[in-house]
Each structure stands twice: as structure tokens, then as C-alpha cells.
Amino acid sequence: MSMKTGEVEVEATGLQVLSKAQAQLPFNIRAHNMPTEAIGLKHRYLQLRYPHLQRNLRLRSQVSKRISDYLQDIHGFVNVNTPTLTRHTSGGSHLFIVPYAAGSSAANVPPPANKCESVNGINAKSTFKSNSGDSRINSSSVLNISSSSSNVRNNDDSGSNSAISIESESMSKYYCLAQSPQTYKQLLMMGGLDKYYQFAVCYRDEKGTPERQPEFMQVDLEMSDVTAEEVQRLVEGMLQYSWPEDCNGGPTPETPFPVMTYSAAMKHYGSDKPDTRFQWLLQDAAAALQEARCGGITALQELISHPQGTATAFVVPTGQKHLSKSACESWNSLASREHGLGGVSVCHVRQDGSLKGSQLATQLNRTGGAKQLLASLGAVPGDTVVVALGPESNVLSCMGKLRLLAAAELEATGVFVRNKQELRFVWVVDFPLFEPGEDGSSLVSVHHPFTQPHPHDAHLLDTDPLKVRSQHYDLVCNGCEVGGGSVRIHDPEMQQRVLGILQLPPGDLQYFVDALAMGTPPHAGIALGFDRLVSLMCGSESIREVIAFPKNSQGHCTMSGAPSDISRELKQRYSIKENS
């Protein structure tokens, strides 16, 4: 017989329906007229029948197995699960707090009415930088009445707007859901497990984006007696080993990945997550503008007199034809609203080499400096030159965003800018160890307080800490941070020194400092966002395409209705009273 399914032909004698589907489904499984994201997530069990979601989840399973094989069987790593319920320390960003009532004598007693501490959405917003999974101290959050003492950076201000009251002194014990196993994995190195890994589920109470949701998974690694370069080579090998042969994200990436310093990334891309798939690099335009005798412009005069001032530009090829007026106007609003600048100058290059579109363009045409500026930037007729002036940090971060917005604007008109099938990995290194706090007088950690200072800069810790680089490294792909890690502090005196600079309460991490004093090997590690990594492999725009039951952009599960209210009995048990 020539049957594809085998050599046995089955003759059916009966048919029994095991399960019936209702006549009108919320949507049909077909390649056209697909449901909106809201409807799809509400009926996720039905949406999972789509072939592309089936493929994504099966690929995710395949990749996780290959990663485990690589780490455990080839490199001798030990898979260890660390606690999800952790204690509070003075730090963290958008944490989930868990009240603890077991054994409390007041668990079923009405709370006294004169004791009240307010908690914003059962999560308090404190401060370690919200970038990579590795950069999260695993600690509980703090109540609003004390969160102002926190000394670590918080990049976002999203989260729940609801409020509750904790009304009993006897109910003053709390867990929080771990944002990462940061301290635990370092403690494992102290305990003699020299190669640790796990697929860790982590939690962060922040608004969802295509790259984020409240619960997420990271591939967490830690090793003793290794350098940053050795960690990077291990990760590169792991990605090559686990990369699927038939993934939509493109072929297996070539290694080693290029390395870029933080300062170079900010200078040329305006971001510590550079998208290197296209050029349009940021360029210093200060010298050209000054030589073009544009001193009559107030902003330029301020630039020249300001010690941290700069003028930065980038060129959008064929931008004059494809950039809309409304888009350029919105850039001015963004520069003012988000970066404290007076706006940006968008100058279109005419065929005769003159400029149009802004006050700066008029001034350059009047002084004859337009051709000089265009020559220094490499712009030609039909291009658009975007220029911003002001404090360097504000200008660079603003121009980094505008560079990406300009690329998206051209792509929307059909112009090829970035290859969607290409994955460009790059290591970003030599981050600052500290940065100024929001109050302008304190210092905060750029990542977390366990990162080892750069050996060439350690002598500046007490005299000029803002110039100290860290031994942190991020893995970036196509402008998306895939993971981050660092060489850790293993000396208790250095750890105390860093905590002192940050003015963190010494008692919060005393258990950890005590452990360091027991003889700790040098160690380093990294955490990779597994959801992000798989979405890159699948060529998906959102991590929700590679998670079986994801939350929506508000952090809600519309299928089950989570988060939801709880019963009066549970509120009484945990001494929770809703504010009116």
C-alpha cells in the first residue's frame, strides 16, 4: 500500500461525539478576520488553537530544554529553585507585597481604628533601575510612609491607583514576591554551588508593554571564579546551542557578539539599548554651529556657556519626502515634555543646499553656514537634519528616541530602514556605578548595590563616585534589552562601603554582608529575559505571543478576571480596609 499514514487501513463502523462545541464561538480559528487582542485574551483557551501560537509555545518548550541540556549536561550547572516569598529591604521597584497572618492572634479580631498605614495598591514604589531581570534586588517593598528613604533608581511610575489601609500593629509582617533571585543566587555561591541556574518566575507591579508584564520568566545564571568575558562567552554558546533551526527570528547568530561601551552607546545612539540594524548615528554638531556664526540664537549662546552643554544632530536620508509635518511637530513636544529641552530643529535640505523648516535653518542660510553644517554631517539634498541643543544627558536621551521614531515614520511609508528578519546582538559594558538621585544630593545605584566597581575606578569611590564605572554588562538585541548581569562584590568591606555611599539602612542587608564575611569566592552572573528571547526567536512583536496565559497591557487577566476583589472575611483576616 502507498498510504502516507501507514500500512493498515481502518474501516470505521461507528461514530461517537465525545465533546460538542457551542454553535456560536466568540471567534473562528482562521487566518483572516482574527480577533482583537482584547477578545483573544478573554478567550485565550480558544485563541491558543491558532497554529502560530501552538508553534510559539512548542518552540519555547524546545528552547528551554536545549538551554537546560547546555547548562546542566555540558557545563555542569545545578538547577536550584530559590524562594518566591522574600523579605523587605529598603529598595526594589514596583513590588508586590503579601500580608502575612499565619499564627497571628489578631487574625480574626477587628483591627483598632486608630492605627492606619496607607499602602498604594499593596505595592510601594522604590528604586532599583527597571531594566534587566538581573538588576532586581529580591526584596519586599516598603510602605509609602517610609519609601521616601529609598536610595535606588526607579525609571517608571506605573502601577495600581487603588489604595488600601493596613490597620493593625499586629499585622506588621509582610512578604513580597521576588523580582529576581539576586541575593539568593549569590548566597548559593557562598554555599559552594559554583554553577547555578534556574528558570525563575519573577514579579514586578508595573504596567504592561510589548516587552513587559507583571510576571515574567528569566534564565538566571551565577558562577564562581569567572570573569565578565567568561560569562559572556558562556551565554553566546548557550544561545547558539539552543537556537532553533526553523525559527522566524533568523539564522543562528554569529559569535562573539560585538562589545560597545555605555559611553559610546549614548554618544552614537542616545540609548544604552542601541538598535544597530541601521546607521543614522548621532553626531556632534557644536563645532560646526559655532563656526557657522550662529551665536545670535539664544539656545546656542546657552550651549556655549553651559559646561555640560552640547549640540547633537542626526541625518534622516530622504526624510524631506517621507517625514510628516505632524510627526516633526510632535518631536518638539516630546523634547520639551520628557527631556526639558526647548524643542528640536528639524531642517530639510533643499536641492540648492539651503535649509528650511526651522529658526536654525533660517539662521544658517543667512550666515552661509548651512553647507558647512551639511558637509560635517554628510547630508545631501532631500535629507532631513534633526538638531537638538542643551545639557548633554538630556539631548542624547531625546535624540535617541527621535532616531527610533524617525525610523518608524519612514517604515510606515514603505521605506526600508531596518531588516525585521535580522537580529543584531551587542554587549554594552562599562556602565556608571552610581547616578544622582531625584533630590540632586543623594546617589542611587544604576543597577543594584551588589555590582563590583571597575578596578581602575575603585579609588574614586569616596572622592568622585559619579565617575566610577561598574562591572555590569547588558545583552542587547535590536534595541531591546535581552539580559543583564555583572561581576558581584564578594568582599564584605567593599559591600559595606557601597551601601554606605547609597545611605541604605545597614540592618536590611546585614544577613547578606555577614554571609560575605564567611569566605566568599569571586563570582559573576546574568539573567536573560526568557519571554523576550523566545519572542525574538519567533519574530513576534510582543511577549504575549509566546506566553500561554499572558496579562494585558494593564496587567490584568481578562479571562479569569484577575486581579479581583476578595471577601470581607479575607480582608478582616489581613486587617485590610479599603479607602473610600
Q: Domains of the chain: which residue ranges?
A: 278-412
Task: Say which residue, 343 or 197, is predicted with more confidence.
Answer: 197
Q: What is the pLDDT of residues 474-518, one digit of tens each?
A: 999 999 999 999 999 999 999 999 999 999 887 889 999 999 999
Whether pLDDT at 155 is above 50: no
- The pLDDT of residue 90 is above 90: no
Average pLDDT over residues 281-287: 93
Please tell me the predicted confidence (pLDDT) of residue 296. Answer: 57
| Average pLDDT score over the chain | 86
Q: For residue 400, what are the contacts with CB-CB under 8 A and spacing of at least 6? A: 266, 269, 270, 271, 282
Beta bridge partners of 562: 557
Name beta bridge partners: 421.
none
Distance CA 463, CA 468 (A): 10
User: For 119-123, 379-383, 420-424, 431-435, which range has the lowest pLDDT when averaged over its residues?
Assistant: 119-123
Q: Are 62 and 54 in contact (CB under 8 A)?
A: no
Would you say 242 and 70 are in contact if contact means Cβ atoms under 8 Å apart?
yes
Per-residue confidence (pLDDT) for residue 164, from 0 to 100: 44
The answer, yes or no, to whether residue 544 has pLDDT greater than 50, is yes
Overall average pLDDT of the 354-376 stretch: 91
Q: Write out pLDDT tens, residues 293-332.
A: 665 565 566 665 577 889 999 999 999 999 999 999 999 9
The mean pLDDT of 1-12, rounded to a whole number, is: 75
- SS3 for 557? strand
pLDDT band at 415 (very low <50, low <70, confident <90, very high): very high
Q: Which residues pair with 200 in a beta bridge?
A: 218
Distance of CA 136 to the CA centre of its chain: 11
Rank 109-118, 198-207, 300-309 by mean pLDDT and report only the highest. Answer: 198-207
| Cell numbers representing residue 317 in the block | 536620508
Mean pLDDT score, 445-453: 95
Q: What is the DSSP string of 80-124?
A: -PPPSEE-B-S--SSPPEEE--TT-TTTTSPPPTT--EEEETT--
Cα of 213 vs its chain's centroid, Å:
11
Phi then psi for residue 321, to 5 deg, are -80, -30
- The pTM score is 0.86
Grid cell listed for 309: 552643554
Cell numbers at 47, concatenated: 485563541
DSSP assignment of 243-277 equals --TT-TT-SPPPSSPPEEEHHHHHHHHSSSS--TT
Q: What is the pLDDT of residue 248?
A: 75
Cell, residue 215: 510576571
Question: Mean of the pLDDT values across residues 421-435?
Answer: 96
pLDDT confidence tier of residue 369, bands split at 50, 70 and 90: confident
How much is the average pLDDT of 387-408? 96
CATH 3.40.50.300 fits 278-412, yes or no: no
